[in-house]
Structure 1
């Protein structure tokens, strides 16, 4: 049973890598700002770190899972707030130093529940800005991306919670296994939908005439930059 848990919790990160690669290719091909390429790469790194952690269950590999989670949220904070930040060099410098300091401290200290609280706080910092983007977006296809982001987050959180509540009870091992693996899959889609929505909003800010199109049923953002650019 333990080997099955490790296997499913490992391979369930593959969708996150595939979606991250798809988003990265789209961002590069259409000439989005580098911040979005870095964001997609961070999703890929996070999924790889989770694979390393769940395939080994060692503390060092756990850091390769948890540290990229914090870095990813710092990237989201930057992308969400950078358009209105008056001191353009201050914000990324602070976030970079914060991320570097966390990585160093986390390599020496195992935070446990403290890490989870810290991560939730970073997530909560993103919510007001995401909501502002949502209410100012008129395109229904873009709004659907935001709803998919919220839906996968909600369902994924329920799966994670079921894992946390049942993993100590051997009679619920199978349910626990499925819950954590589903959390990984849904978070891969969750990150992708969030990235696509933010790319749409940024393209609107830059007047790149964005629209949501689909490839094999998967939505992505297509832009048309003015010819003068």
Structure 2
């Protein structure tokens, strides 16, 4: 991570507890971290279309909620990196917890054979979210947030490996692709944090177009956005497989990964 507020612009002094490696206001006076901001488009636009497709296919509301939650994360991250204000930081970080809880709910409900609500699991995840929110607002320690978020991601990873290993092995390709892309983003996030000073020095010596490729926090957004999107497709595929029979499943990559259901008959 970079030193706090190396430059000021339209939004004034930095008030967030975090300031990432991208030089502040280096591209435009109106956006603090330009590439870290615009890279969030991948978490905003595709999930909106995913939610629309889910509505058209009549999928369960939990999948629509998952898509919309990813969109909210992208919008919050956009506001945070654009302003570097503490309030916007919360708009970025807290939805990460909430969206991951929605993903966990979808993951553990994938084997049910009818449309229903697991109120016990729902209550547990809501309570967890409330506790994390309350503690984080009080302590304002980013490491606490990162640990809580990591716990949720770790739960999702273990559950996914179990499903593609023992239950739906034909979904290994999609499941491992989602996981691999997400972990690659996590690796680049750490590279950006650990090697910030060398990266900044490198960007000063190379053409801007080359320097942009080393904005690894932006790559974190792109890769985790794609990985999360594929994860929702993975959840929708396996969940719909249980709830539907004699259905036609379409999964294509042109121009963006799309999953749709046709000619379905419900139990």
TM-score (norm 2): 0.76
How much does 1:151 deviate? 2.3
- Picking from 77, 88, 92, the partner of 2:122 is 92
Aligned residue-pair number: 227
- Is residue 256 of structure 2 the alignment partner of residue 218 of structure 1? yes
Describe how 1:101-116 pairs up with structure 2 within 5 A.
Answer: 101-116=131-146
Check whether the contact 1:77–1:126 (CA below 8 A) recurs between aligned residues: yes
Structure-1 separation of matches of 2:100 and 2:155: 9
Question: Does 1:13 find its partner at 2:40?
Answer: yes
Deviations 1:99-134 (A, max 9, x none): 133223323331222221221111111222111221
Offset of 1:45 from its aligned partner? 0.3
Quickly say closer, same or farther: Cα 1:95–1:88, change in 2 above 3 A.
same
Contact 2:136 2:145 in 1 (8 A): no
Gaps of 5+ in 1: none
In structure 2, distance between residues paired with 1:227 and 1:176: 47
Partner of 2:194: 165
Over aligned residue pairs, what C-alpha RMSD do you find? 2.5
* Runs ≥4 residues deviating over 3 A: 172-177, 224-229
Does the CA-based 8 Å contact 2:182-2:223 persist in structure 1? yes
1:137 corresponds to which of 156, 168, 191: 168
Task: After TM superposition, list the pairs within 5 Å mapping 1:1-229 onto structure 2.
Answer: 1-4=23-26, 6-83=33-110, 88-135=118-165, 136-139=167-170, 142-169=171-198, 170-172=200-202, 174=211, 178-208=215-245, 209=247, 211-214=249-252, 216-224=254-262, 226-227=264-265
| Alpha-carbon offset, residue 44 of structure 1 | 0.3
**Is the 1:149–1:190 contact (alpha carbons within 8 Å) kept by the matching residues of 2?**
yes
TM norm structure 1: 0.88
CA contact (8 A) 1:17 1:48 kept: yes
Q: 2:15 maps to what in 1?
A: none
Alpha-carbon distance, 1:138 to partner: 4.5
Cα distance change of structure 1 residues 224 and 132 upon mapping to structure 2, 3 Å threshold:
farther
Other structure's SS at 2:44 match: helix
- Give the C-alpha shift of residue 29 in structure 1: 0.8
1: CA distance, partners of 2:202 / 2:146:
23
Q: CA deviation at 1:228?
A: 6.1
In the TM superposition, residue 82 of structure 1 has moved relative to its aligned partner by 2.5
Structure 2, unaligned runs of 5 or more: 1-22, 27-31, 204-210
Structure having the larger proportion of residues in helix: 1
Partners of 2:142 and 2:56 in 1: how far apart? Answer: 40
